[in-house]
Amino acid sequence: MKSTLALLLLWLASLAGQAVFAAPAARGPLERFSIGGQEYVRLSEWARQHHFLLSWTSKTELRLVNNSATISLTVNSQKITVNGVAVWLSVPVAAHNGSACVAPADLTATLQPLVRPARAKAGARIKTICLDPGHGGKDTGKLDGKRREKDLTLALALELGAQLRKAGYKVFVTRSMDASVELEDRPEIARRRGADLFLSLHFNSAGSEVRGVETYCLTPAHTASTNARGEGANTGALTGNLQNEKNVLLAYQLQKSIVSRLRLEDRGVRRARFAVLCTAHAPAALIEGGFMSNPAEAKNIYSAAWRRQLAQAIVEGVKSYQKLVDPPAPKER
């Protein structure tokens, strides 16, 4: 009798288990095919593997939803949003026989690291941050009358450094005054001093109507960049590509924090092979914190009070990133 009861309980437990924990979808390789010479996979297959519900919201727009993320995509567009923040893919989303398709590299180097962040090894907590104020010395950066980008990036770096130290991080800068530092030397300074993160700070310039914030990370090997110049896909792996997954997560968390806290136009997480990102050993991102050529943004950028807010948003972005990647704290005995 007792054993019958035990069996019954076991059977009930197994039923309950099935109801709560759906069997994980098989994680086999996705079928690859070519559309116009570009390799693609079906988004629906990836969505199933990652427990996303896929729905078309119009003839050309679709959405993936699960309990942690909402991703919106548009056919023929490289721009997607992940939880409302713009992110650029290396090739446009394609429609093929009624299915939405994306490049496999965009799944592995962009979507996957954002929706399933990988934690660092035990003991690999983020402690030291290298700040890189863009330009300096004879390289003035962008100019707007007497305003020089190199002075504004330095002012931001000093403010950000003070705030990060207050938050408990060890911080150093690639330059603490108006001095020339070669681009290649900047990530090298970070490596020598054992930085766990590298943040390069810049301000933008274009037509007076262009505005907004963009955060860059290194373009993955053999894919095209999404900066204004947009270099092609024929570059192989660089040192900075060893951190591909962390680079994009860092850039995303920074962009998310800046555009949501300061309510600025979201120009998205973009990719470039900027010299300071190519040889970075630690996860690295480059922030373009607004346009000196846009009158409203210029007024902000030239204000110490506004730069304090921008620095605060960057600190919060770093903390959000750290929460996702730091190894879990060792259990207390």
Min dist. Cβ of residue 150 to Zn ion (A):
8
Q: Which is nearer to Zn ion, 272 or 325 (CB)?
A: 272
Please choose, out of 129-137, 253-261, 274-282, 323-331, the segment that lies near Zn ion by the rule CB under 5 A: 129-137
Q: Which is nearer to Zn ion, 301 or 318 (CB)?
A: 301
Map tokens 């408990």 to a residue. 168
* Interaction of residue 246 with Zn ion, rule CB under 5 A: no
Min dist. Cβ of residue 20 to Zn ion (A):
52
Parallel, antiparallel or unpaired: strands 128-133 and 170-173? parallel
The angle at the Cα of 199, spanning 194 to 203, to the nearest 5 degrees, equals 155
Q: Which is nearer to Zn ion, 145 or 330 (CB)?
A: 145
Backbone angles phi, psi at 52, to 5 degrees: -100, 145
Rounded to an integer, what distance in angstroms lies between the CA atom of residue 274 and that of residue 82?
A: 24
**In the set 113, 141, 212, 290, which binds Zn ion (CB under 5 A)?**
141
Parallel, antiparallel or unpaired: strands 53-56 and 61-65? antiparallel
Please choose, out of 61-69, 70-78, 100-108, 141-149, the segment that lies near Zn ion by the rule CB under 5 A: 141-149
Rounded to an integer, what distance in angstroms lies between the CA atom of residue 269 and that of residue 80?
A: 10
Please choose, out of 67-75, 98-106, 126-134, 165-173, the segment that lies near Zn ion by the rule CB under 5 A: 126-134
Instruction: Report the 10 Å Cβ neighbour count for 35.
Output: 13
Min dist. Cβ of residue 70 to Zn ion (A):
33
The angle at the Cα of 40, spanning 38 to 44, to the nearest 5 degrees, equals 160
Binding characters for Zn ion, 188-227, by CB under 5 A (x = yes)? --------------x-------------------------
Q: Which of 245, 247, 298, 255 is nearest to 273 (CA)?
A: 247
Instruction: Report the 10 Å Cβ neighbour count for 275.
Output: 15
Q: Which is nearer to Zn ion, 118 or 228 (CB)?
A: 228
Q: Measured at CB, which residue is nearest to Zn ion?
A: 202
Min dist. Cβ of residue 134 to Zn ion (A):
4
Min dist. Cβ of residue 100 to Zn ion (A):
36
* Interaction of residue 134 with Zn ion, rule CB under 5 A: yes
Residues binding Zn ion: number (CB under 5 A): 3
Q: Which is nearer to Zn ion, 134 or 290 (CB)?
A: 134
Q: What are the b/e assignments for 174-195, b being 16+ CB within 10 Å? A: bbeeeeebebebbbebbeeeeb
Q: Interface with Zn ion by CB under 5 A: which residues? A: 134, 141, 202
